[in-house]
Chain A
Amino acid sequence: MLDKPASTLRIRERLLESERLMEETGCYDGITELELRNQDPLKFETLHTKLRAYCVSAREMARRISASPGVREVGEMVVAIYTPEGDAIALSNGIMVHVHTMSRFIKWMIRNGYEDNPCIRDGDIFANNDAFIGTVQVPDVMDVVPIFHSGKLVGWAGAVCHELEAGGITPGGDVALAQERFTEGLFVCAEKVGENDELRRDYVIRCERNLRMPIYWVLDEKAKVASCIDMRESVKALIDEVGLDYWMKISKEFIEEGRRAQLARSRQLTVPGIYRGHTFYGHVTAGKPGYQPLGDPDWLYNMPIEMEITTDGKIIMDFEGTQPWGFHSMNCTPAGMDGGMFVTLTQHMNFEGLVNDGAWMATELKLPKGTWTNPDSEMAATATSWALLLPAYGVFQRLLSRSFIARGFVEEAFVGQVNSPMIEMGGTSQYGTLFGMAHFECAAAGSGALAIKDGLDTAYVGWNPESDMGNIEIWEQNMPMLYIGRSIVPNSGGAGKYRGGCSFLSTWLVSKTDHLRLVTSEHSSRVFDNGGMCGGYPAPTCQKHRAVRNSNIFELAGKGAPLAHHTGTNPHRSELELRLEGEHVTVEGPYITAPHKTGDVFTHSYNGGGGYGDVLERDPVKTAWDVENGFLTKEAAEGVFGIVLDEDADGFPVANLDATKRHRAGMRAERLAKARPVSDWIASQRSRVEAAAFAPEVKKMYASAIKLSPRFTKDFSDFWQVDAKAAFGVE
Chain B
Amino acid sequence: MSSYSKEVIADLVAGTLPWPQTRRVMSAYKDDDRFFKYVAVLQDRVEWKDPILLPVSDHLFICQSGDERVTKCECGHSFGDYRKNWKLKAHIIVRDTEESLREIYPNSDLPDPEWMEIREFICPECGTLHEVEAAAPGYPIVHDFEPDLEGFYRDWLKKPLGGE
Residues of A within 8 A of B (CB): 267-269, 271-280, 282, 300, 302, 304, 311, 352, 402, 405-412, 451-453, 489-492, 495, 497-498, 525-528, 531-538, 540-544, 569-571, 588, 612-616, 633, 635-636, 639-640, 668-669, 671-672, 674-679, 681-682, 685, 688-689, 694-695, 697-698, 701-702, 715-716, 719-720
8 Å CB contacts to A: which residues of B6-50? 9, 12-13, 15, 17, 19, 22, 25-26, 29-30, 32, 34-35, 37-39
Using known A-B contacts A408-B34, A452-B13, A675-B92, determine if residue A715 contacts B140 with beta carbons closer than 8 Å. yes
Using known A-B contacts A272-B152, A280-B116, A406-B145, determine if residue A527 contacts B136 with beta carbons closer than 8 Å. yes
Name which of B107, B110, B143 has the most chain A CB atoms within 10 A of its CB: B107
Please determine whether B58 and A451 come into contact, CB atoms closer than 8 angstroms.
yes
14 extra interface residue pairs, beta carbon distance < 8 Å, beyond A633-B106, A719-B140, A720-B138: A271-B148, A272-B155, A274-B145, A311-B156, A405-B55, A406-B147, A452-B15, A535-B128, A571-B110, A612-B58, A613-B58, A672-B122, A678-B121, A720-B140
Asked if B93 CB lies within 8 Å of chain A CBs, one says yes
Asked if B132 CB lies within 8 Å of chain A CBs, one says yes
Report the nearest A residue to B143, measured CB to CB.
Answer: A276
Please determine whether A411 and B152 come into contact, CB atoms closer than 8 angstroms.
no
Please determine whether B88 and A408 come into contact, CB atoms closer than 8 angstroms.
no
8 contacts between A and B (CB under 8 A): A269-B30, A405-B55, A535-B129, A612-B58, A677-B124, A679-B88, A688-B138, A698-B138
Residues of B within 8 A of A (CB): 9, 12-13, 15, 17, 19, 22, 25-26, 29-30, 32, 34-35, 37-39, 54-59, 87-94, 103-112, 114-116, 118, 120-122, 124, 126-132, 134-149, 151-152, 155-156
Using known A-B contacts A268-B32, A640-B103, determine if residue A676 contacts B109 with beta carbons closer than 8 Å. no
**Cα of A538 to Cα of B122 in the assembled complex, Å:** 17
**Minimum Cβ distance to chain B for residue A530 (Å):** 8
Using known A-B contacts A491-B105, A528-B134, A698-B138, determine if residue A402 contacts B91 with beta carbons closer than 8 Å. no
Please determine whether B30 and A280 come into contact, CB atoms closer than 8 angstroms.
no
**Cα of A498 to Cα of B120 in the assembled complex, Å:** 17
With a cutoff of 8 Å between Cβ atoms, the chain B residues found around residue A405 in the complex are 55-58
Using known A-B contacts A269-B30, A615-B129, A678-B92, determine if residue A569 contacts B112 with beta carbons closer than 8 Å. no
Report the nearest A residue to B128, measured CB to CB.
Answer: A614
With beta carbons under 8 angstroms apart, the residue of A267, A273, A635 that contacts B147 is A273
**Minimum Cβ distance to chain B for residue A577 (Å):** 15
Please determine whether B115 and A300 come into contact, CB atoms closer than 8 angstroms.
yes
**Minimum Cβ distance to chain A for residue B24 (Å):** 10
With a cutoff of 8 Å between Cβ atoms, the chain B residues found around residue A453 in the complex are 15, 19, 22
**Cα of A695 to Cα of B111 in the assembled complex, Å:** 14
Report the nearest B residue to A402, measured CB to CB.
Answer: B145
With a cutoff of 8 Å between Cβ atoms, the chain B residues found around residue A613 in the complex are 58
Please determine whether A671 and B129 come into contact, CB atoms closer than 8 angstroms.
yes
Please determine whether B25 and A411 come into contact, CB atoms closer than 8 angstroms.
yes
Please determine whether A676 and B136 come into contact, CB atoms closer than 8 angstroms.
no
Report the nearest A residue to B131, measured CB to CB.
Answer: A535
Is chain A's binding surface mostly helix, strand, loop or mixed?
A: mixed
**Minimum Cβ distance to chain A for residue B132 (Å):** 5
**Minimum Cβ distance to chain A for residue B98 (Å):** 10
**Cα of A453 to Cα of B54 in the assembled complex, Å:** 22
Report the nearest B residue to A309, measured CB to CB.
Answer: B148
**Cα of A721 to Cα of B72 in the assembled complex, Å:** 27
Across the A-B interface, give the 8 residue pairs with the lowest CB-CB distance, nearest first: A408-B38, A675-B91, A719-B140, A540-B108, A273-B147, A534-B58, A695-B114, A528-B134
Report the nearest A residue to B35, measured CB to CB.
Answer: A408
**Minimum Cβ distance to chain A for residue B17 (Å):** 8
**Cα of A263 to Cα of B155 in the assembled complex, Å:** 14
Please determine whether A702 and B131 come into contact, CB atoms closer than 8 angstroms.
no
**Minimum Cβ distance to chain B for residue A466 (Å):** 16
Please determine whether A409 and B88 come into contact, CB atoms closer than 8 angstroms.
no
**Minimum Cβ distance to chain A for residue B100 (Å):** 10
Please determine whether A526 and B111 come into contact, CB atoms closer than 8 angstroms.
yes
**Minimum Cβ distance to chain A for residue B124 (Å):** 7
**Cα of A498 to Cα of B22 in the assembled complex, Å:** 16
With a cutoff of 8 Å between Cβ atoms, the chain A residues found around residue B59 in the complex are 534-535, 614
Please determine whether B107 and A636 come into contact, CB atoms closer than 8 angstroms.
yes
**Minimum Cβ distance to chain A for residue B107 (Å):** 4
Please determine whether B146 and A526 come into contact, CB atoms closer than 8 angstroms.
no
**Cα of A698 to Cα of B108 in the assembled complex, Å:** 23
Please determine whether B26 and A639 come into contact, CB atoms closer than 8 angstroms.
no
**Cα of A267 to Cα of B30 in the assembled complex, Å:** 12
**Minimum Cβ distance to chain B for residue A536 (Å):** 7
Report the nearest A residue to B36, measured CB to CB.
Answer: A408
Please determine whether B156 and A272 come into contact, CB atoms closer than 8 angstroms.
yes
Please determine whether A716 and B136 come into contact, CB atoms closer than 8 angstroms.
no
Report the nearest A residue to B88, measured CB to CB.
Answer: A678
Please determine whether B148 and A535 come into contact, CB atoms closer than 8 angstroms.
no
